[in-house]
Amino acid sequence: MSTRVAIVTGAAQGIGRATVHRLVQEGVRIVASDVNEPNLQECRASCADPTLVRLITQDITNATAPADAVRMALDAFGGIDWLVNNAGIGNAKPVHETDDMEWDRYLDVNLRSAFRFARAVLPHLQAGRGAMVHVSSIFGILGNPRSAPYAASKAALLGLTRQMAADYGPRGIRVNAVAPGVIETALSEVRLRTDAYYRKLVADPTPFPRLGKAQDIANAIWFLCSDQASFVSGHTLVVDGGWSVTNYVPPMTE
């Protein structure tokens, strides 16, 4: 496979950083976007070949953010093949505790930005090479307590994925989603440590002897972008250690 160029949002840490590292292992050239400049620098410094990575510090909700990332990819690498819409915010609340400002923020970061990055990248993708992955969540598939705006944004990403697969499949462009289960990153770490109810909801019923790692999602994203998935489109790849398809309850202890 000839060398590809990817834009990865939310690249500074967690799943985004692991994705940058995984794609760099494959020789992919990357525009790594995030609002957190120091962590972005760390992401590049700790990857296998920092020369393959260009950094763009931006809030993805800013009006010019998608065009700025696209311009960097074109200037630095002469094209774009893949978009990984990964940046997101979590730890939402139920409807009756969510005000309009919070609702808008979840939709803006998790959904609207993904749509706007996708729209900016589309004109540059080539048939048979172009691919996108939206990072959704198991909360976008199953109803879980206390996460209304987050779950709504992540479910909408799955609709966007299927719709785009229909619209751009005829142009040879594939669009897929990953739906991570509970993955040990900064986003889940505080909640896992401090919120016993959250642990009971997502960690304890995972029927695998460990929680997910950012690398597990990065591997799925690599697969969906790569030619190994050349006939996979409109698909949601759930990576959750079996959480969403089992009714696992940990054994009782005496």
Ligand X SMILES: NC(=O)c1ccc[n+]([C@@H]2O[C@H](COP(=O)([O-])OP(=O)(O)OC[C@H]3O[C@@H](n4cnc5c(N)ncnc54)[C@H](O)[C@@H]3O)[C@@H](O)[C@H]2O)c1
Q: Interface residues with ligand X (CB under 6 A)?
A: 10, 12-16, 34-36, 39, 59-61, 86-90, 109, 135, 137, 180, 182-183, 185-188
Nearest distance in Å: CB 9, ligand X:
6
Judge whether 150 counts as a catalytic residue. Answer: yes
Q: Where are the alpha helices (DSSP H) in the chain?
A: 14-25, 37-45, 65-77, 100-106, 113-121, 148-168, 186-194, 196-198, 214-225
Residue with tokens 């609340």: 93
Nearer to ligand X, 61 or 219 (CB): 61
Nearest distance in Å: CB 62, ligand X:
8
Nearest distance in Å: CB 13, ligand X:
4
Nearest distance in Å: CB 171, ligand X:
26
Chain centre distance of CA 150: 14
- For 205, other C-beta atoms within 10 Å of its C-beta total 19
Nearer to ligand X, 129 or 156 (CB): 156
N-term to C-term CA, the chain: 55
Length of the chain: 254
Nearer to ligand X, 24 or 129 (CB): 24
Nearer to ligand X, 49 or 59 (CB): 59
Half-sphere exposure for 158 (CA within 13 Å, toward CB)? 19
> Please, are residues 149 and 100 in contact by the beta-carbon 8 Å criterion?
no
Burial of 39 (0-12, 13-18, 19+ CB in 10 A): middle
- For 15, other C-beta atoms within 10 Å of its C-beta total 29
Nearer to ligand X, 65 or 131 (CB): 65
Among the listed residues 106, 150, 168, 198, the single catalytic one is 150
Nearest distance in Å: CB 67, ligand X:
15
For the annotated catalytic residues, the residue numbers are: 150
